[in-house]
Structure 1
Amino acid sequence: MKTRSWHVLTGIAIAAVMCAYCGKKNVSIPLKARGLYPDYNTSPVPPDATGMGSTAVQLASRFSLGWNVGNTLEAIGGETAWGNPLISESYIRFVKQQGFNAIRLPCSWDQHSDKATAKIHDAWLNRVKEVVQYCVKNDMYVLLNIHWDGGWLDHNINKAKQDSVNAKQKAFWEQIATAMRDFDEHLLFASANEPPADNAEQMEILSSYHQTFVNTVRATGGRNSYRVLVVQGPSTDIDKTNNLMNSLPGDVAKDRMMVEVHYYTPYQFCLMDGDASWGKMFYYWGAGYHSTIEPDRNASWGEESDVNTSFGRMKTKFTDKQIPVIMGEYGAYRRNGGTNVPKDLNTHNNAVDHWLTYVTKQAIANGIKPFFWDTGGALDRRNNTVLDKQTIDALMAGAK
């Protein structure tokens, strides 16, 4: 009876909480998502501050450099479906040995659940918990999210689906948060991945999904009452986040929230895998790294000054206000194989190194905590060897 009474009182407090960013009451978002699924918060416990003493700013200050275990727990079809092996504790230790002390675990849940009830399969919850334990046991901070996950949230940032998405957000996070509740502050939760929102109306709907996430995690109690939570800017795009994300969810826990953005700019240099009608791939980026052999492949935008401007906006909007910013994904990658090999390969590789070092350094200088996106290309997960030492060295040069 005591536990249930605490749960009810916590819910009342959440409903009336002041917005942590803008100072306004967040009254437009219901306390609970009314919807389609059973209540999975069946065993809430009183708050437990043991091992949870750090604010978001204090926690972020301990992140040296972050690493994504990409294309694995979020893979559609199962952990190994996209070509990577099962995550091992030895791999986590190996990542730490390279100089990283934080891990981001992109994770899917919908494919591992009952579609009618949103009940996550126990075997999957236990497996994810096992991987989180690998990280925490080795003194690694770990960021666990709901990734794209088939698009049940990303494809439905609209009024028609708002209630049903909030219902699933609530059901999933009740189960995830309860299963992971006993981990200390080394574990952080993230509401989503790259939720697309292009205007104020969509941002308002996305904010309701984030609010449901915060409310739900807090209501499970225990260490989750104090856990640092991460909410994503619209599309995790810096410009959109700067323009549209003008408030954060209300939270009964003081100073326990971070904002997440991603950075793959310019896209033509970082990710583009073929020329398009609107533009060509860039092979060369940055001052001193343009090619005279292929001048049409030199970056024409998104270079150092744009990095400075973008990261400066996040500093002004958030980090200067004691709201840490996670750069949950970023990276530029070598075009050393396939059909799009640069003619000036040495300059290309040096340009990639320069991008990695410069972006990492400037992120940290602006209080942004970077997590490099890797899907197995830089570190071999099967035998724990370095595949791309230049990339690791460039990242570490930026972090130092």
Structure 2
Amino acid sequence: MKTKKRRMMSLLLILVMMCTYVVGPNSFTAYAADENTVQDGVAEEVVLFEGSNTSTNWGQAVTLYAGKGFSKSNLTSDAEIAVTYQSDKEPIISLQSWTHNNIWQNVPAKYTKGGVAYFSVSDLMDAYASAYGTGYLTPFQDLDAINISDAGVDLTVTKVTITSKGINNNCYTQVGEVTKVTAKAYAQNTTNDWTWMGMDNVVNLLYKTNTSLGAKNTSNIFANVNSSANFGIQISDEKLAVGDGSRLKFHIGTITVKAEGYDDLVINLNKDYNESYLAESVSWGLNGNSTMITLNSYLPSDESGKTEYLKKVTDVIADITLTDYEFVKAPAEEPEFPADYTYPTSMRDISSMDLVKDMKVGWNLGNTLESTGGETGWGNPKTSKKMIDMLKSAGFNTVRIPVRWDEHYIDDHYTIDPTYMKRIETVANYALANDMYAIINIHHNALQSQANAENKAKVLDELEVVWSQIANHFKDYGDKLVFETINEPRNGEDWNGNQASYQIVNEYNAKALEAIRSTGANNTNRLVLLPTYTAGAEYNKIMSMVVPNDKHVAVSIHAYSPYNFALNTAPGSQSTFGDNDKAYLDKLFKLLNKTFVEKGVPVVIGEFAANNKDNLKDRIEYAYYYAQNAGHYGMPCFWWDNGTFTTGESMGLLNRRTLTFEFPEIVQALLTGWSTEKVIPETDPNVMFNGTGTSSNWGQAVNLSLGLDFVYDDFKDGSVIAVDYQSEKAPELILSGSASGVNWVKVNPTKVYEKVDSKVAYFTLTDMVNAYKNALSDYDSYGTIFPSLNTIYIGDTGNSLTVTKVYKTDTDGMKLPSVTAKTTYKDSFIDQSYRITSEQGDIDLSKVKIEYSATGMSSETQNVYCDYAGLLPDKEPWFTEFTKSVTGTIADGKLTIQIEKSAICPEKTGYATINIRFANKDWSKYGDISNPVLKVYYNGRLVQ
């Protein structure tokens, strides 16, 4: 993917450095309560439902109505709802209000244990308040019902209870006791290097006692602050280790900010916080143990004013009281695999094409093991088997595991850290244990962007050493483990490349494949995925791909297409998925199929997705249509999930912390699309565009892409591009290439033919080549007809233009014979006369074929006579008769007339006539011959 890796660091640092909301509790995965914790404050359990109710397909197994099924008085922030259930997926609580705005708010379980899903009422409060919006005054205002809903699969609920847990002081017992909950003042830039700036005088809060934060800026700590910075107070629980959790309440009263040269900023915050923490390990320490109270809204609103103010801050003073605290120790880790689990070793006797088709729809473990700084370096949590279990239960069949290896070399010889190798093996087995396919690759190693002559020798060496280690480690694994040589190989950030860099990628693929095969065992026949340059699907890249003579390889393609809808995150970028986008995908898959699959080479779509632009309906339609195309051609497709859901490159599906799908509708669309047969209509291979394209004021009505709409082989001697259009002025054809000088080469039509209601403009290959030659000074050095050409546009010349068809023809296609027919009904036969003229270009009568049919004509063989045929040209000889050269036959109720003599009918100045009679064998009368159909072909092309 082109941009995801460059942008994700900044986005994910926002998510992980600021690990809780400004106000209210955070949303990280809850913890299972320590069974040894004394619950002194637990109230009596209230049973809300007991019995056995079922639902499926996102239905509701249990509905509890306000005042009948539950009391709002029991829904306190320290309460917990427990749902006893049986299902492959955890249930969901749906909060419903028809009284206010038809609210339907889904909330996932905080954690599950022993067949019981536990929901934090505090989480329900936050979710409902957010859904309610303005006018919200009291907890659960206007709440009408609580539903226990399934997550798309069968659900049985047998019991629902609510318990007020209270917050117990099981760590701090004395008022005034020093805790490990700290407060500090900070600023952090949210651009560039994400500089963190913490003020001096971090304080440990006293239990149930007002604590004064007196942060000092004694060393000009904010000198590097910029206008993007967040500024405020951070509350952290330093007691937590990985997996530990805590629940705490604290109150912040007045905050005073002093800045040199400014009046004191006094903020009467006076706010209570009710937080739940769960600590998880990330590359720089712990995540999920802090609350960030940002004060940006109180600062100067203009960027320069805000920056200057922060640089002058000297003190941050605040009164903070920790009112309640509960510590929950991390539960003991349970084995992720059964004690008797062994990795699969079976190699099935199936072709690579069948194996690839069996991968079906897959999911990328994105921005994780390929991250800079380790598995959690870009903010996603450590991968667990439960995550992959969720994917399996949802219906995914493959997990692609992007892996960065070069951060885990332990010497200068590319030796991989054995501990890291085992970690990759563990993650691969998460998929294999679920009977899924697992794909391991080289992803984000520096060599990925070194497809150039300068680095080639080093990269070839590294590929051989690294792949030999990986392949040796996994050589006994079965065929559901797949290798992929390199992710998106390219030269630096050159995403277009050239023939030299394409060839280097071919060499890299060959070297990696050789290293894998040389390890023997199951690697002899293991499927290996080989990418094109950048894994791109552009015509030049796929046509330059050299597929080794190996029965167990497939081509790896990444296609976030169409780009403006799927990948472009710029403000105002396309958010709708329409017919033109569908047509683009149709052509893309057809190109890949023709280039590879029809030649016996499987194709895998290793990455695709569409960014969240608040356009769920369109993303669902896109997912369905994309997967349907992929399924039709047997190309498995793997959604890129980067773990981000709302901002920037947001392609996440699975929330890896809550183990729920944020967009289950997209998941279902992918799976349904793959399994739904697609009807591919037959198309004329000569037609490049058929529809309606418009432009004006020197715009472009139609753009044709290399590979999707035309290929170089289309251009042969005598080639012509014909354009059917309506406009006062003829259109122009524009050739656009990436080489210097040929970005915008204009070509005027050689000829224009005016029909009754439209016109046809013809552009000859000769004129196109001459224009391109004139624009490209070193044209002859390339040795190709249109060096670097990638797009052909049909543009207007200042007037409104409508283009309805663009098609390939030849010089014969510029010649348009016109035929008129006169039919006379005799007593027992039909007498016809045909007049043939040339509206455009001299025509050869031997290339004309006339077909006449009518509903009343017999389908039996009949007698046909040519009484006369002659040509009247405009020069000597003034007359040519060719009666005996005319053949007329009737079959299946259609009269076909052809001329076996070559005779030239001149443009507009001459004509030919033919007189034909035909009759039934028994000379009986014909039936109704109204509404006849006359078709005229010239050199095999239908022209009338």
* Contact 1:67-1:372 at 8 Å conserved across structures: yes
> Which of 398, 402, 405 is the equivalent residue of 1:102?
398
> Which of 498, 504, 516 is the equivalent residue of 1:199?
498
* Contact 1:52-1:226 at 8 Å conserved across structures: no
TM-superposed deviation, 1:161: 1.0
3-state SS of paired residue (1:373): strand
Alignment of 1:350 with 2:617, yes or no, is yes
> Which of 389, 394, 397 is the equivalent residue of 2:664?
389
> Which of 450, 455, 465 is the equivalent residue of 1:161?
455
Alignment of 1:174 with 2:452, yes or no, is no
> Which of 487, 492, 507 is the equivalent residue of 1:208?
507
Question: Relative to structure 1, is the Cα distance of residues 182 and 364 closer, same or farther in structure 2, using a 3 angstrom cutoff?
Answer: same
Match of 1:321 in 2: 599
Query: How many pairs align?
Result: 318
TM-superposed deviation, 1:115: 5.1
Match of 2:655 in 1: 380
* Contact 1:234-1:244 at 8 Å conserved across structures: no
Match of 1:222 in 2: 521
Match of 2:374 in 1: 78
Match of 2:387 in 1: 91
Q: Tell me, in whole angstroms, the C-alpha distance in 2 between the residues paired with 1:245 and 1:183.
A: 32
* Contact 1:261-1:326 at 8 Å conserved across structures: yes
User: Map of 1:122-161 to 2, 5 A cutoff?
Assistant: 122-149=418-445, 152-161=446-455
* Contact 2:502-2:545 at 8 Å conserved across structures: no
Question: Relative to structure 1, is the Cα distance of residues 73 and 243 closer, same or farther in structure 2, using a 3 angstrom cutoff?
Answer: closer
* Contact 2:626-2:673 at 8 Å conserved across structures: yes
Letter in 1 for 2:661: V
Alignment of 1:56 with 2:352, yes or no, is yes
TM-superposed deviation, 1:283: 1.4
TM-superposed deviation, 1:52: 4.5
Match of 1:116 in 2: 412
* Contact 1:198-1:240 at 8 Å conserved across structures: no
3-state SS of paired residue (1:153): helix
3-state SS of paired residue (1:327): strand
**Alpha-carbon displacement from aligned partner over 1:100-120 (angstroms, at most 9, x marks no partner):** 111101110001113512111
TM-superposed deviation, 1:208: 0.8
Percent identical residues: 29
> What stretches of structure 1 of length at least 5 have no aligned partner?
1-48, 288-300, 337-347
3-state SS of paired residue (1:284): coil
Alignment of 1:190 with 2:502, yes or no, is no
* Contact 2:346-2:477 at 8 Å conserved across structures: no
Q: Tell me, in whole angstroms, the C-alpha distance in 1 between the residues paired with 2:453 and 2:510.
A: 16
**Alpha-carbon displacement from aligned partner over 1:292-314 (angstroms, at most 9, x marks no partner):** xxxxxxxxx6x111111111011
Match of 2:543 in 1: 244
Q: Tell me, in whole angstroms, the C-alpha distance in 2 between the residues paired with 1:361 and 1:85.
A: 32
Q: Tell me, in whole angstroms, the C-alpha distance in 2 between the residues paired with 1:281 and 1:132.
A: 37
TM-superposed deviation, 1:64: 2.3
Q: Tell me, in whole angstroms, the C-alpha distance in 1 between the residues paired with 2:404 and 2:451.
A: 18
Q: Tell me, in whole angstroms, the C-alpha distance in 2 between the residues paired with 1:217 and 1:52.
A: 19
Question: Relative to structure 1, is the Cα distance of residues 155 and 246 closer, same or farther in structure 2, using a 3 angstrom cutoff?
Answer: closer
**Alpha-carbon displacement from aligned partner over 1:236-274 (angstroms, at most 9, x marks no partner):** 1112466533421344xxx10100101112222212222
TM-superposed deviation, 1:50: 5.3
User: Map of 1:23-62 to 2, 5 A cutoff?
Assistant: 51-62=347-358
3-state SS of paired residue (1:368): coil
* Contact 1:52-1:223 at 8 Å conserved across structures: no
* Contact 1:379-1:385 at 8 Å conserved across structures: yes
User: Map of 1:281-360 to 2, 5 A cutoff?
Assistant: 281-287=573-579, 303-336=581-614, 348-360=615-627
Match of 1:22 in 2: none
Letter in 1 for 2:534: S
Which structure's residues are more often strand, by fraction? 2
Question: Relative to structure 1, is the Cα distance of residues 399 and 112 closer, same or farther in structure 2, using a 3 angstrom cutoff?
Answer: same
Question: Relative to structure 1, is the Cα distance of residues 219 and 242 closer, same or farther in structure 2, using a 3 angstrom cutoff?
Answer: same
* Contact 1:233-1:240 at 8 Å conserved across structures: no
What TM-score do the two structures reach when normalised by structure 1? 0.76
Q: Tell me, in whole angstroms, the C-alpha distance in 1 between the residues paired with 2:411 and 2:613.
A: 41
TM-superposed deviation, 1:200: 1.5
Q: Tell me, in whole angstroms, the C-alpha distance in 2 between the residues paired with 1:369 and 1:62.
A: 8
Question: Relative to structure 1, is the Cα distance of residues 87 and 118 closer, same or farther in structure 2, using a 3 angstrom cutoff?
Answer: same
Match of 1:235 in 2: 534
* Contact 2:627-2:670 at 8 Å conserved across structures: yes
* Contact 1:108-1:148 at 8 Å conserved across structures: yes
Q: Tell me, in whole angstroms, the C-alpha distance in 2 between the residues paired with 1:173 and 1:96.
A: 28
Q: Tell me, in whole angstroms, the C-alpha distance in 2 between the residues paired with 1:362 and 1:317.
A: 16
3-state SS of paired residue (1:217): helix
Letter in 1 for 2:365: V
Match of 2:47 in 1: none
Match of 1:369 in 2: 636
CA RMSD in angstroms comes to: 1.7
Letter in 2 for 1:304: K
Q: Tell me, in whole angstroms, the C-alpha distance in 2 between the residues paired with 1:153 and 1:321.
A: 30
* Contact 1:378-1:388 at 8 Å conserved across structures: yes
What TM-score do the two structures reach when normalised by structure 2? 0.33
